[in-house]
Amino acid sequence: MTVYKTEILKVSAKFFSDKANDGDAAALDELLNRRAAEGWELATYDYMATSSQIKGAFIITFKQER
């Protein structure tokens, strides 16, 4: 049986651009590595910008066989 877990990882505020920065990438790496150590595998992810593109988030889904 496969189980799924979805998390939201908020990114830093953007004032002139909606691009991810090094801090955002490091936070994503940390989350991916932490979940991998727990036995979770990345299933899918997406970046969701807000309408004002000041603050966004990654929505990340992991899967695990049980």
Q: Which two three-digit tokens encode residue 12?
A: 């830093």
SS (H, E, C) 5-48: EEEEEECCCCCCCCCCCHHHHHHHHHHHHHHHHCCCEEEEEEEE
Q: Report pLDDT digits (tens) over 11-59.
A: 876 655 656 678 888 998 999 999 999 999 999 999 887 666 667 788 9
* 65 within 8 A of 1, measured Cβ to Cβ: yes
Instruction: Calculate the alpha carbon distances from 17 to 20, 37, 41, 54 in Å.
Output: 9, 33, 30, 8
Q: Which pTM value belongs to this model?
A: 0.79
